[in-house]
A and B are shown apart, each in its own frame.
Chain A
Amino acid sequence: MKLINISKTFFPDSPKEVKALVNINLTFEEGEFTTLSGESGSGKTTLLNIIGGLERASSGSIFLDNLELTALSDEQMADFRLRHIGFVFQAYNLISVLTVRENIGFIMKLLRFDEVEIDSRIDELAVILQIEDILDKFPGQISGGQQQRVAVARAVASRPKLILADEPTANLDSKNSERLMHMLRTLNEKEHVTVIFASHDRYVLDQSRRIIVLEDGAVIEDH
């Protein structure tokens, strides 16, 4: 995935104008395990949202293989997200009226995977993420750490090309953070799924193989 000259300005030409991203050029390879880091307000979330098509860049383009994502319509982008991107948000990721099992299978169902395949995939992920015991519970009945692991399971279930996670550990204690990162790392290694975080959490940074540091909307470090 290639980002070319991505810029994002909120409230352009108004006194409130914010240049959140300025001329970002980046390339992500398949199987990466990368964190966007930087101080608060540096543009991590904005960049992640633009990569995931949840926000539109003010200028610049993103290519995946030969597909120009920045040229897709909203509806095409939604469909692209459904097929190729898994999201893990900071908290409350789950649909409250669905059980853990149904939550994990939700995207696969939308993509018309068959029931047998969905079930075996859920069982497989449940083992990796240690959520076998809570599959029939509702989100309201499990802990925050468990909820985040379920969110990860849902994000990876349909084997998307890319997992985007914005501060997935922000609401977790250190033990749960470590655990979540360890499991994501395992999935990354086992299934070669590309993962990009936006985070300044020590546990996330420790586990990452590549760290991109942003400052005032520009890349200042990439190693």
Chain B
Amino acid sequence: MYKIALDLALKSLMRRKTRTLMVIMMIALSLSGLLFLQGLYDGMVSHMINTTIRSDSGDISLYAKQYRFEKNIDYHIDDPEPIQAYLYQSEEINAYAVRLMQEGLVSTAHKSLGATLRGVTLEDERKFGDFYTFLSQGKFSFGPKNQDALIGFKLAEKLKVTLGSRLIFTAQDANGEINAIAFRISGIVKTGNLTIDEGSVFVSMETMERFLTLPNSATQIALRVKDESQIKSVQDTLQKKFKTLDVLRWDELYPLLIQMREMMNIFNWVSYAIVFAVAALGIFGVILMSILERMREFSIMMAIGTPYRNIRYQIISEAFAMALFGYVFGALLGWGFLLYTASVGIDLRYFEAGLESFGLNAILYADIRYYYFFQAFAAVFFATFLSVLWPLHVLKKIKPIEVIQGKML
């Protein structure tokens, strides 16, 4: 019996190609939309996290105890050499960057703003987070005499300075005396991390040590692990090893990122639900239509003795065959979109100003995760299932003869 139903389903699909293709297209398009949306949102979030890790926190950062709360160079790490040596030989650690930071005032002839001066080693930062890729103008260099500086692009805008401009930075040194230092801007960086873009100036480690009269010291040692799943265990090991230091993960240092990610997740789910609802409604509509318009035909079939279960089997087979093809095409299409946006990205320079205040880059890259495709599969088949339920219920209820005589529907 089911062979006949299956045969009829196949013929219905093949011999009403326009309708069949329409349904398949609808499913495919809405599905690819779902996939695309998901990948893009996840891409946005991981991009934000990634730039923060690369530009500042690393996977894990070490600080002297109290430094995080008071931001005072009294709480610095003395003699970071042995720690560096340990990190260097550690199997789990990929790269590290030693930094010496002090808050102060950065000034031009016309304006002064609060900022953080960061003493760094460019070569270490390059290994640590490809820092040079953040350079938007100028050179990734502190000049031949280590007298130049890199500046966050937002800060540069606020101060109205450009490449070659001179700046004065004023701050307390280790002895509590207020000192000033002058430098020329050699490069402007744009990281997507607001703390950096809005309030940081980078100088060489040597310049910084001299300026603060604090040789052989650091306020932060940031590191990258080889395997992200190992972050927690590396943190524990380091904390045990360096009891006098704070050993903190990126998500502990930037709890806002986690909140942001959770917010985005909700946002993601809500938009997913909306697109899904629209798609499901569409699928529901076309499948319902395709059954209702054949109600008379199904009634004739039942009147002449075709068992109801045969017709049910036919309708289910038709719907799920279309869902399957719709899924395959939709998944391929969505995958294509995602591959493209994962590698080439979407240029959102048009909305740039707005997005950067969220810490987003102008070019968005999508993430691709396998679970998208499982989730989409479940979504499509759930929608299809829902859309055959109601017509089947109607079909079971009707008296065929009344439909045939036009007394019903």
Does chain A bind chain B?
yes
**B304:A97 contact, CB within 8 angstroms:** no
Known: A54-B401, A78-B305, A81-B305. A95 touches B4 (CB 8 A): no
Known: A95-B297, A98-B11. A55 touches B401 (CB 8 A): yes
The CA of A119 and the CA of B64, in the complex, are separated in Å by: 92
**A79:B401 contact, CB within 8 angstroms:** no
Chain B residues in 8 Å Cβ range of A80: 305
Q: How many cross-chain pairs have Cβ atoms below 8 Å apart between A and B?
A: 62
Complex interface bits, A101-136 against B, C-beta within 8 A gives 1, otherwise 0: 010001101100000000000000000000000000
**A97:B300 contact, CB within 8 angstroms:** no
- List which B272-309 residues lie within 8 A (CB) of chain A: 294, 296-297, 300-308
A97 partner, pick from B16, B302, B303, B307, beta carbons under 8 A: B16
The CA of A94 and the CA of B11, in the complex, are separated in Å by: 14
Q: Give the shortest distance, in Å, between A119 (CB) and chain B (any CB).
A: 16
A13 interfacial contact with B, CB 8 Å: no
**Which of A18-26, A85-93, A180-188 is the contact stretch?**
A85-93
B18 interfacial contact with A, CB 8 Å: no
A82 partner, pick from B8, B297, B306, B399, beta carbons under 8 A: B306
A49 partner, pick from B15, B306, B310, B401, beta carbons under 8 A: B401
The CA of A87 and the CA of B401, in the complex, are separated in Å by: 11
Q: Give the shortest distance, in Å, between B194 (CB) and chain A (any CB).
A: 62
The CA of A85 and the CA of B305, in the complex, are separated in Å by: 9
The CA of A110 and the CA of B297, in the complex, are separated in Å by: 16
B400 interfacial contact with A, CB 8 Å: yes
Chain B residues in 8 Å Cβ range of A92: 296, 300
A40 interfacial contact with B, CB 8 Å: no
A75 interfacial contact with B, CB 8 Å: yes
B12 interfacial contact with A, CB 8 Å: yes
**B16:A82 contact, CB within 8 angstroms:** no
B1 interfacial contact with A, CB 8 Å: yes
Query: Closest residue to A48 on the B side, CB-wise?
Result: B401
- List which B305-322 residues lie within 8 A (CB) of chain A: 305-308, 310
**A95:B301 contact, CB within 8 angstroms:** yes
**A110:B305 contact, CB within 8 angstroms:** yes
The CA of A138 and the CA of B11, in the complex, are separated in Å by: 12
**B400:A107 contact, CB within 8 angstroms:** no
A179 interfacial contact with B, CB 8 Å: no
Query: Closest residue to B15 on the A side, CB-wise?
Result: A97
A107 partner, pick from B15, B305, B401, B405, beta carbons under 8 A: B305
A-B contact pairs, 22 of them (CB 8 A): A54-B303, A54-B400, A54-B401, A55-B401, A79-B305, A80-B305, A81-B303, A82-B304, A82-B307, A92-B300, A93-B300, A95-B8, A95-B300, A95-B301, A96-B294, A96-B297, A107-B304, A107-B305, A109-B4, A110-B305, A110-B306, A154-B304
19 A-B pairs besides A89-B300, A93-B300, A109-B4 with CB distance below 8 A are A49-B401, A54-B303, A54-B400, A79-B307, A80-B305, A81-B303, A81-B305, A82-B304, A82-B306, A89-B303, A89-B404, A94-B300, A95-B297, A97-B11, A97-B12, A106-B304, A107-B304, A110-B4, A110-B305
Task: List the 4 closest pairs (A to B, CB-CB), nearest first.
Answer: A82-B305, A54-B401, A81-B305, A97-B15
